[in-house]
Structure 1
Amino acid sequence: MTETSPDHPRPVLVVDFGAQYAQLIARRVREARIYSEVIAHDATLDEIKAKNPAALILSGGPASVYADDAPSIDDALFALGIPVFGICYGFQKMTAALGGTVENTGTSEFGRTTLTVGGDGGRLHRDLPETQPVWMSHNDSVKAAPEGFTVTASTPGAPVAAFECVAKQMAGVQYHPEVLHSPHGQEVLTRFLYDVAGLKPTWTAANIAESLIADIRAQVGEDGLAICGLSGGVDSAVAGALVQRAIGDRLTCVFVDHGLLRAGEREQVQTDFVAATGARLVTVDAEDIFLGHLAGVSDPEEKRKIIGREFIRSFEGAVGEVVAGGAQGGSDQSAGAQQVDFLVQGTLYPDVVESGGGSGTANIKSHHNVGGLPEDLEFKLVEPLRLLFKDEVRAVGRELGLPEEIVSRQPFPGPGLAIRIVGEVTKDRLELLRKADLIAREELTSAGLDGQIWQCPVVLLADVRSVGVQGDGRTYGHPIVLRPVSSEDAMTADWTRLPYEVLEIISTRITNEVPDVNRVVLDVTSKPPGTIEWE
């Protein structure tokens, strides 16, 4: 029986066969309080063994297991004594590798399907409803389970929709337990982890924080100096708090006021974060530099790369202040001998995935702190949150004692309002958007809706104008877009159904109080197909 360790957790590896939901599977495992990571299906046997996995979960994927170019995995993995759980394509791959039969039965199942539990349901489905909805997405089906496996469920298009062999600590399902459309899916996945694989739920906020702090100390060393780029958001604040806990006054936080902030942002960072952590903070005034480089630029990818580059340049320029401050603070080392080698960033797992850093994922958009970094970067990156989802980051922040005003803050992108202006970024347009954004935030807070939405970007369509009537005269102003969304981790999202009365108040205030805006519209697109931010 395998078991994780709080200090050095053995990961449950999610083997990605090109699935839509590989990261979501990893998230669901963590919701069961067990550490998980995603790896590519073409990882070698030695690479997988080196990670000392507590279990393997084989993801879904779009291919057929018998196709010539089908993604594969070394069948020797099934002989290592590691618990294995197969999902959809992974279920079929597992079947084929262990001697079962996979065929195209001529009956495809996509979307909601009724699962019928047979016998006593086994470890996975025991005491769950005999018939239950599940989410399917397959053309091929398992016709015969491998020898020694018990079939525990079926659907009209999948005669073998679930099987298990407790003695081998292996099981699988044809459906997708990781999605909310399979209402008992989380329980089934958790039962595999606890009752089949024998794992213990030790991945808690306290253990995560302890492990990350230890990792930071090991990376930075006993004498290393680091700077942390604070954006005003949750992620960079938690990353900074972790590093401050790990190395103390050898960290200096750098807050770059690039002129792309929302109203009150600078003041909040300078008071709340410093009061909560005691960290040293240097503020860099760089508005003119950023706006100068963004002048004439409308392409969103170019904006992100410019902002990423100038962030780093701003940090590099702050190094002298960091060293001087260390010398003034009575450091035992001489200022001349000190060098800042490490840059702390609040990069999250969704940032990495959307920037093409996941297993076989497409580059949706370059996040300024991932794909937007310059090639001649002078720092070594410290990214303690790189494998965490947003809810885990918030939990770690609370564990570190950060105030709720920081921990519960809705996500705000590092590039700031620059990617909420569709078109060129100018000082006048920023001021216009700042006013509209503040009105929306004030009214959502007043209505008590902050806890119901994940994020509400306010977008200025700077290159679009529409005819309006204001003050009995014709106007030709800009539209403002409200983008309220609900989400668990930013990987997927749905638009939030705000009360009409609140929308009316926001619209009326914006069109009355913000010059050059005569129209407010609501974005009702889910993710996918649309991203949360417009750029």
Structure 2
Amino acid sequence: MHSLERRQAIIVLDFGSQYSRLITRRIRECRVYSELVPANTTLAQLKQKSHLDIKGFVLSGGPSSVYDEGAPICDPEILHSGLPILGICYGMHLLALQLNGHVAPASGSREYGPATIEVSAEAANDPQIFRIFEGIKVSPEQTEHLDQVPQWSLRLPVWMSHGDSVDVLPEGFKVLACTESNPMAVIAHPRGLVGFQFHPEVAHTPQGKEMLYNFLFRICECEPGWTSSSVIDETVALIREQVGSERVICALSGGVDSAVAALLIHRAIGDQLICVFVDTGCMRAGEREQVVDTFASHFHIPLVVVDARQRFLSRLANVVDPEQKRKIIGEEFIRVFEQEASKLEEEHGPIPFLAQGTLYPDVIESTSHDTASTARRIKTHHNVGGLPEEMVFKLVEPLRTLFKDEVREVGLVLGLPEEWVWRHPFPGPGLAIRIIGAVDEGKLETLRAADKIVVEEIRNAGVYRELGQAFAVLTPLQSVGVMGDFRTYANVLAVRAVTTGDFMTADWARLSPNLLARISNRVVNEVPGVNRVVYDITSKPPATIEWE
């Protein structure tokens, strides 16, 4: 780390908001690196991140009231660090309360949903506190009634979600904006402290990204240096520093994440890398052939293919619980790699490192309450929480701080074929967690055939790139049907398609009825054992994208 240039960063303290990850994403979209940390992280702990040049902080929203017993607070040293701070919703309340202002609990000014803030003309004449709104244009409809309220210079639509409200300002703060029911919707201090009662990170605040831009560049004085090229250069340097002259084996799954991880590591250490593709028997149609062709033929990276189908299927026999499936698959992956490394050591010498395509959302969703004061573990990702406690490898995870779209950008720069870069994500446990209930070879063949049809028809309809994920799920339900005048009693197949920007939230895709009809018709006619197709219309939250 000491040989690397320090990276400018904005630290987001997570107080439990459903939008905390989105704040991090929005900052990175402005080409500034942002890191999400637990609410109880101290300034002293952050200073140990010697590779980061911290330029400011964001205090996220959260479900608590600042007056709740055990409500999370911010390390006072952060508030008095002299660095800019943006408090959002609960974060604004903390900022005010901990700096000796006052918050009115569950006051009459509670607001949920759309609102309009009116920015003070007096505030506009104070350049030190007005920087957060500088350069933001007002649309004609927003100026329609300004002649009736001349004391205000801007009217901006925002998204609110709060019960408590600030009612007494801390010393040195001024009010920048109000709403009809909240006289302190935006507050600011000349030294770069800003409080928003609304959420600038959501799409329902149209000019929210411009406000975040102003915080980053006009208040924190960041530089837009978080680019694909900078990510590649820094990651390559980190890999070289971690690995040295040792060898690494990389788990290839067929997805973009492991592929980009392999390309980054190969750029860093060349032939010290050996890629291993494990055929678990839970792969999609044509997966094995595509991996071999791309890596062995296109990139000329050493590749070992391990046929472990029977091994995985025997371990998964009669296992119904999805968490147990993930843990079994995670452990078997490691054991297979340990065995393969042992074989390869005879030819190449010791191989102490295992590389994985772990992403930032994987890490966040697998975080337990023990490691983050406000995060809750949603599910175990097989390559994060599913790893066995005892293993001989040290992990190399070059994508651990990246979101999916950032990985794709890096992949394109590295020369990964577009078809692979834009391939929909595929979970590490594969089709095993798209079969609800116990997994066996017959169910896998059924699901593999149905999933191939779903993807083919979506590609043929020209909407594949518009979707975040699209796949089939084999349910344990059976239903009565009629085929050729005969009664059938066969499986129900679910189709899942979602749109998403960051995979932290997702909405179900409004596929055309004609497309759904083609998928259904082909599946029931071409896939034995399926006589009914249903479409999943649940968003994330409350559901996850995968069914298990």
Q: Same fold (TM over 0.5)?
A: yes
Q: Which amino acid aligns with 2:339?
A: G
Whether the 8 Å CA contact 1:243–1:251 is kept in 2: the answer is yes
Distance 1:164 1:107 in 2: 20
Partner of 1:213: helix, strand, or coil?
A: helix
Cα deviation, 1:68-120, whole Å, max 9, x if unaligned, reads 42211222323222111111111111112333332133231122222222226
Q: Distance in 2 between matches of 1:6 and 1:489?
A: 28
Kindly provide the amino acid, as one letter, of the partner of residue 520 in structure 1. Answer: V
Q: Say if 2:215 is the partner of 1:192.
A: yes
How far apart, CA to CA, are the structure 2 residues paired with 1:273 and 1:142? Answer: 58
Query: Counterparts of 1:170-319 in structure 2 under 5 Å?
Result: 170-221=193-244, 223-319=245-341
Q: Which residue of 2 aligns with 1:109?
A: 111
Letter of the aligned partner of 1:496 in structure 2?
Answer: A
**Alignment partner of 1:131 out of 151, 155, 158:** 155
Q: Paired residue for 1:375? A: 389
Cα RMSD of the aligned pairs, angstroms, is 1.7
More divergent stretch after superposition (170-179 vs 491-500): 170-179
Aligned to 2:149: none
- 1:237 deviates by 0.6
CA distance in 2, matches of 1:224, 1:162: 54
Worse-matched range after superposition: 250-259 or 121-130: 121-130
Partner of 2:439: 425
Name the structure 2 match of 1:521: 534
Equivalent residues of 1:276, 1:401 under 8 A apart? no
CA separation in 2, counterparts of 1:456 and 1:484? Answer: 4
Letter aligned with residue 115 of structure 1? I
TM-score, normalised to structure 2, is 0.91
Paired residue secondary structure (1:53): strand
Instruction: Indicate whether 1:45 and 2:61 are aligned.
Output: no
Tell whether 2:360 aligns with 1:349: yes
**SS of alignment partner, residue 465 of structure 1:** strand
What SS does the corresponding residue of 1:297 show, helix, strand or coil?
coil
Tell me, yes or no, if the aligned pair for 2:16 and 2:61 is still in contact at 8 Å: yes
Q: 1:68 to 1:305 in 2, by over 3 A?
A: closer
Superposed, which structure 2 residues align to 1:371-520 within 5 Å?
371-461=385-475, 463-520=476-533
Q: CA deviation at 1:256?
A: 0.2
Match of 1:331 in 2: none
Partner residue of 1:58? 59
Deviation at 1:374, TM superposition (A): 0.9
Report sequence identity in percent: 51
Structure 1 distance, partners of 2:289, 2:346, is 24
Shift in Å at residue 442 of structure 1?
0.9
Q: 1:128-166 CA distances to partner (integer Å, 9 max, x unpaired)?
A: 43333212121111123333333221123321111223x
Decide whether the 8 Å contact of 2:454 with 2:471 is kept in 1: no
8 Å CA contact retained: 1:6, 1:207? no
Q: CA–CA distance in 2 between the matches of 1:487 and 1:319?
A: 38
Measured in 2, the distance between the counterparts of 1:180 and 1:157 equals 22
Query: Which moved further from structure 2: 513-522 or 175-184?
Result: 175-184
Contact 2:55 2:221 in 1 (8 A): no
Secondary structure (helix, strand or coil) at the match of 2:381 reads coil
1:276-329 Cα shifts (integer Å, max 9, x gaps)? 432111000000000001111111111111111111111111113433453xxx
TM value normalised by structure 1? 0.93
- The structure-2 alpha-carbon separation of the partners of 1:76 and 1:363, relative to structure 1 and needing over 3 Å to count, comes to closer
The residue identity in structure 2 corresponding to 1:281 is L
Q: Which residue of 2 aligns with 1:94?
A: 95
Which runs of 5 or more residues in structure 2 are unaligned? 125-129, 139-153
Opposite residue 217 of structure 2, the aligned amino acid is: Y
Aligned partner letter, 2:213: T
Instruction: Look up the SS of the partner of 1:367 in the other structure.
Output: coil
SS of 2:183's equivalent in the other structure is: strand
Asked if 2 retains the 8 angstrom alpha-carbon contact of 1:252 and 1:322, the reply is no
Residues 176 and 182 in structure 1, CA contact (< 8 A), matched pair in contact too: yes
The Cα of 1:195 is off from its aligned counterpart by 0.9
Deviations 1:327-348 (Å, cap 9, x if unpaired)?
Answer: xxxxxxxxxxx21111101111
- Number of residues paired by the alignment? 517
| Separation in 2, partners of 1:361, 1:57 | 16
Match of 2:72 in 1: 71
Q: Which residue of 1 aligns with 2:177?
A: 153
Shift, 1:407, TM fit: 1.0
1:479 Cα offset (Å): 0.8
SS of 1:168's equivalent? coil
Distance 2:64 2:137 in 1: 31
Q: Residues 281 and 497 of structure 1: is their aligned pair in 2 closer, same or farther, counting only changes over 3 Å?
A: same
Q: Is the 8 A contact 1:276 1:402 kept in 2?
A: no
* Alpha-carbon distance between aligned partners in 2 of 1:84 and 1:6, rounded to the nearest angstrom: 26
Gap change, CA 1:145 and 1:128, over 3 Å in 2: farther
Aligned partners of 1:467, 1:497: CA distance in 2, in Å?
27
SS in 1 for 2:477: coil
Q: Unaligned 5+ residue runs, structure 1?
A: 327-337
CA contact (8 A) 2:295 2:303 kept: no
Letter in 2 for 1:509: R
| SS of corresponding position for 2:408 | helix
Amino acid at match of 1:163: I
Q: SS where residue 438 of structure 1 aligns?
A: helix
In structure 1, C-alpha distance between the alignment counterparts of 2:424 and 2:5, rounded to whole Å: 30
359-368 or 391-400, larger mean C-alpha shift: 359-368
Superposition deviation, residue 504 in structure 1: 0.8
Deviates more, 1:174-183 or 1:46-55: 46-55
Deviations, residues 378-412 of structure 1 (Å, cap 9, x unaligned): 10111111111100111111121211122111101
Counterpart code for 2:164: D
- State the SS of the aligned residue for 2:185: strand
Q: Which moved more, 1:78-87 or 1:475-484?
A: 78-87
Letter matched to residue 143 of structure 1:
D
Is the alpha carbon distance of 1:6 and 1:454 closer, same or farther for their aligned partners in structure 2, counting shifts above 3 Å?
A: farther
Higher mean alpha-carbon deviation, 234-243 vs 349-358, is at 349-358
Q: How does 1:10-25 map to 2 (within 5 A)?
A: 10-25=8-23
Task: Using the TM superposition, give the Cα deviation of residue 489 of structure 1 relative to its aligned residue in structure 2, in angstroms.
Answer: 1.3
Task: Judge conservation of contact 1:141–1:157 (CA < 8 Å) in 2.
Answer: no
